[in-house]
Structure 1
Amino acid sequence: MAANTATMGNLPSGIGICTTIPDILYLPELVFGGLVWILVAATLVVPHNPQAWVMFVSIFCFTVTLIWLVVFAFGVHHNKRRWATADFAYHGIAAFLYLSAAVSLAKVTMDKDDGSNSLNYKLDIAAVVFSYMATLLYFVHTILSAIRWKSF
């Protein structure tokens, strides 16, 4: 096996994060999370609208995932078992947060449909789709991280 790749029982460092499962999911998580952040920020916010929760979740998960990616890329993780546990816990929490944000955003978007097919409505629909995609990515990452955690 090459020096920069890892099996499910190891935590990668350096370029190995781009070649191992579940760590290859960091980049799509950042992309979809960033898209949710951008799309929700671009829409009209009604005062009783829960989009503030969606913004918090997308910014929080984007920031922590980016930090997590940097930690793994620079090989700061020394106690492999603890980092594997923290990776599993973080992605489980992120999946739950994104699911709650996606459901609330979908509810608001459905309630906002007035048949006009406006740009804000289309942006909200795109944000809902991308938030569910981010939820799916974080959920899959949680499952794969749990498998890796159990292999230690």
Structure 2
Amino acid sequence: MASTSSDDTLPSGGRIFTSIPDIFFIPEFVFGGLVWMLVAATLVAPPNPLGWVMFVSVFCFVGTTAWFFIFLCGANKSHIWPALDVGFHFLAAVFYLSASVALAFITVSLGTVVTLPGVLYFYRLDIAAVVMSYVATLLYFLHAIFSAIRWKRS
């Protein structure tokens, strides 16, 4: 009877660049960083929803960076790591979904005053941030799904 050890459940080192759920780390960095930069560059007219979007983008960017280095250094060999992997990426997907909805609402409401001078630039930045935010949501959701499949296999 074959037994699964904790060494086989999660990749470490360079293997994270070839395993299916962990290949999403790099696009999560890129799109999460783009959301962070685009929201930081835009007009903060209603500060509360955009503050939540900034919190989510910074939290997920820092969390993904820490997660990436934990996997890269091979510190993920305990039996609890597959469940933590699913939990973090599912939480990030839920956070990003709520931030994306709030950002889309702000962008739609900003679209009603787009005729004012100087608002069109910020409106376009918000549109780009909404698109990047939904892409980041999709990436975190896919990472959570594939991590859950890997967790259940182990």
Fold conserved (TM > 0.5)?
yes
CA distance in 1, matches of 2:51, 2:27: 23
Output the aligned Cα RMSD: 1.2
Code of the residue aligned with 2:81 in structure 1: it is: W
Gaps of 5+ in 1: 1-8
Once the two structures are TM-superposed, the CA of residue 78 in structure 1 deviates from its matched residue by 2.0
Once the two structures are TM-superposed, the CA of residue 46 in structure 1 deviates from its matched residue by 1.3
Counterpart of 1:103? 101
* 2:146 pairs with 1:144: yes
Q: Give the percent of matched residue pairs that are identical in Structure 1 and Structure 2.
A: 55
Please give the TM-score of this superposition, normalised by the length of structure 1: 0.91
Counterpart of 2:38? 39
Gaps of 5+ in 2: 1-7
CA deviations 1:15-45 (Å, max 9, x no partner) are 1111111000001001000000000000010
Name the structure with the higher helix share. Answer: 2
CA distance in 2, matches of 1:57, 1:115: 26
Q: Which runs of 4+ in 1 moved over 2 A?
A: 114-117
Q: How does 1:59-138 map to 2 (within 5 A)?
A: 59-79=58-78, 81-113=79-111, 114-116=113-115, 118-138=120-140
Contact 2:114 2:123 in 1 (8 A): no
Q: How many residues align?
A: 143
CA distance in 2, matches of 1:143, 1:48: 33
Please give the TM-score of this superposition, normalised by the length of structure 2: 0.89
CA distance in 2, matches of 1:138, 1:110: 24
Larger radius of gyration: 2
- Match of 1:77, SS? coil
